[in-house]
């Protein structure tokens, strides 16, 4: 299969629609890491993503009879736009099944490129199942977004361009992984032509399906998948892509949401372009490698794989960037509840800038404050500050890596319930009309809602923190009811971000 893939990559004739994107040196990043760092600008494709390569190449392999019946795919974004544009270019009717939660900008993008949009379900899995049904009923050819050898070959043309554009020494090339189509095509071409180059796959920590498959020895399904980097939010690596990746990838690096946000800012600083989270993923992995390995003579190359992000996501990305670069630390600090204690605390912070300070009177003797402080990047200054506060006799808890604190607590500090039977849970709401109504209907009015906080991040799902006055024995009933309408929950009652500021 690998030999066949190399030949298919060589035979791809896609450049009447696809463009050869530039390989740009990232001057700021190169100076920061004392290494030559380059970005392959797939965000500059006509659909602002590499997906056009694979979709178009697949259509070119189909017979005229097959194309005359039309094609269909399930997608929440980039594959949909790539297939729609490629189909219109060839005069083929394309139907794209998209979840009802798909942001309007992506629905409009598919329609603008000639695709017929069918909205179905709240998740990609539901949309994909419906697309398969329509494929059978209407005789439409199903174009898989990644697990198809011709799609993979089309994506692999990006690597052909990279090695042609960068003939000098290359240390490593970093490839984002969702289903694995881009990574499989590029990795096999790189190892065929330049086996000395390291091929490093990069995944989100909460959607690392390739790493999981390598650990299990076979494609396996993750129990749950984080949705921030929605372009690579895949629970199971492809069967074909896994076979092509398992022996060609030298390493898998995983990155946090904060690290991805920091990489988005780095791309903006160097190129003035705004990558989507999946588009900046490979750079986030490159940065972790560069920090670990130190300066390199050979080039480090990341594929900026896409730029289809919603404008309203930028607020959230900006908020998380400082933590991603480790330039902000978040602490819960207990100080005396007396005049002058706040001034004394700020004095002990020295000349560091306070980025946030949240406080609500609770006890007559002690005050617990939620404080954000600017620190130097790298983590050492954060650790020093933590120790300094402890040495000054302040009880302190570092909340910098606490997801509940960063997503919810910092926006709702103040007031406590003092209920003995309160439990707090987190869930995700699909961004569609009626989601809140479905949630409340499942509760059935059996428990008092004690807390509710919702955050929209411009993605398919919003994050919700909610509290209930509920007895321990009723929790299985709660979980069962919510599961029936598609909501899974996690208990956060013991989280210090809740215990210190809201319990």
Of 15-19, 35-39, 157-161, 498-502, the one with minimum mean pLDDT is 498-502
Q: What is the DSSP string of 347-376?
A: HHTTTPPEEEEE-----SSEEEEEEEEE--
* Catalytic one of 8, 305, 406, 426: 305
For residue 407 the two structure tokens come to 């997503």
Token pair for residue 246? 């398992």
pLDDT digits (tens, 9 = 90+) for 272-306: 999 999 999 999 999 999 999 999 999 999 999 99
- d(CA 39, CA 267) in angstroms, rounded, equals 9
Q: Which residues does residue 254 pair with via DSSP β-bridges, in sequence order?
A: 203
Cα angle value 302/304/306 (rounded, 5°): 155
Confidence of residue 341 (pLDDT cuts 50, 70, 90): confident
Query: Residue 433: what pLDDT?
Result: 65
Q: Is 196 exposed, middle or buried (0-12, 13-18, 19+ CB in 10 A)?
A: exposed
Q: Which of 204-208, 353-357, 384-388 has the lowest mean pLDDT?
A: 353-357
Nearest-5° angle of CA 164, CA 168, CA 173? Answer: 70
Question: What is d(CA 385, CA 351) in angstroms, rounded to the nearest whole number?
Answer: 12
In a 3-state reduction of DSSP, which class is residue 476? helix
Q: What are phi and psi of 502, to 5 degrees?
A: -135, -5
pLDDT per residue over 87-100, tens digit each?
A: 999 999 999 998 88
For residue 160, the surrounding DSSP H or E stretch is: helix 149-165
pLDDT at 67: 97
DSSP state, 400? T
- Per annotation, catalytic residue among 8, 40, 51, 287: 51
Residue 458 has pLDDT above 60, yes or no: no
Are the C-beta atoms of 487 and 427 separated by less than 8 Å? yes
Among this protein's residues, is 305 annotated catalytic? yes
Q: Between 218 and 450, where is the model more confident?
A: 218
Q: What is the mean pLDDT of residues 343-366?
A: 80
Whose CA is closest to 39, among 148, 143, 173? 173
Q: Which residue has the higher pLDDT, 54 or 486?
A: 54
pTM assigned to the model = 0.80
Quick check: 118 pLDDT over 70? yes
Give Cβ neighbours of residue 187 (< 8 Å, ≥ 6 apart). Answer: 159, 175, 199, 201, 244, 245, 248, 249
- Of 380 and 201, the structure prediction assigns the larger pLDDT to 201
Is the model's pLDDT at 323 over the cut of 60? yes
The answer to whether 351 is a known catalytic residue is no
Burial level of 43, CB count in 10 A (0-12/13-18/19+)?
Answer: buried
Averaged confidence pLDDT in the chain: 90
Q: How large is the greatest C-alpha to C-alpha distance in the chain, in angstroms? A: 82
């Amino acid at each position: 299969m690998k030999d066949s893939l190399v030949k298919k990559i060589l035979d791809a004739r896609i450049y009447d629609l696809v463009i050869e994107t530039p390989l740009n040196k990232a001057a700021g990043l190169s100076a920061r890491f004392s290494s030559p760092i380059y970005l392959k600008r797939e965000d500059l494709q006509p659909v602002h993503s590499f997906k056009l390569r694979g979709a178009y190449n697949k259509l070119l392999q189909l017979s005229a009879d097959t194309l005359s019946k039309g094609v269909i795919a399930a997608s929440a974004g980039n594959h949909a736009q790539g297939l729609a544009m490629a189909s219109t270019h060839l005069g083929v009717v394309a139907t794209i099944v998209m979840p009802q939660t798909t942001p309007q900008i992506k629905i409009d993008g598919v329609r603008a490129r000639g695709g017929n949009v069918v909205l179905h379900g709240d998740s990609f899995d539901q949309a994909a199942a419906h697309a398969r049904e329509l494929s059978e009923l209407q005789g439409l050819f199903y174009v898989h977004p990644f697990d198809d050898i011709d799609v993979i070959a089309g994506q692999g043309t990006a690597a052909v361009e990279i090695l042609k554009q960068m003939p000098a020494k290359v240390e490593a090339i970093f490839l984002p992984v969702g289903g694995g189509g881009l990574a499989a095509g590029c990795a096999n071409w790189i190892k065929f032509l330049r086996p000395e180059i390291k091929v490093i796959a990069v995944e989100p920590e909460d959607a690392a399906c390739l790493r999981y498959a390598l650990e299990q020895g076979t494609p396996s399904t993750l129990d749950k998948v984080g949705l921030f980097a929605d372009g690579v939010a895949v629970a199971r690596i492809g069967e074909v892509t896994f076979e092509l990746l398992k022996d060609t990838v030298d390493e898998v690096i995983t990155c946090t949401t904060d690290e991805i946000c920091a990489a988005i800012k780095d791309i903006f600083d160097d190129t003035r372009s705004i990558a989507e989270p999946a588009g900046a993923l490979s750079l986030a992995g490159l940065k972790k490698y560069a920090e670990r390995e130190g300066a390199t003579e050979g080039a480090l190359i990341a594929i900026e794989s896409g730029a289809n992000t919603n404008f309203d996501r930028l607020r959230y990305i900006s908020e998380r960037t400082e933590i991603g670069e480790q330039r902000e630390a978040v602490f819960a600090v207990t100080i005396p509840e007396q005049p002058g204690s706040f001034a004394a605390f700020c004095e002990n912070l020295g000349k560091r800038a306070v980025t946030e300070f949240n406080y609500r009177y609770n006890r007559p003797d002690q005050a617990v404050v939620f404080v954000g402080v600017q620190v130097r990047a790298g983590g050492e200054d954060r650790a020093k500050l933590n120790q300094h506060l402890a040495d000054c006799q302040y009880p302190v808890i570092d909340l910098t890596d606490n997801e509940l604190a960063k997503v919810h607590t910092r926006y709702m500090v103040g007031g406590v319930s003092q209920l003995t039977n309160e439990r707090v849970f987190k869930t995700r709401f699909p961004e569609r009309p009626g989601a809140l109504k479905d949630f409340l209907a499942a509760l059935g009015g059996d428990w008092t809602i004690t807390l509710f906080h919702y955050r929209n991040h411009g993605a398919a799902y919003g994050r919700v923190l909610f509290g209930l006055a509920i007895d321990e024995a009723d929790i299985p009933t709660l979980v069962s009811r919510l599961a029936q309408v598609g909501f899974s929950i996690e208990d956060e009652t013991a989280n210090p971000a809740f215990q210190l500021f809201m319990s």
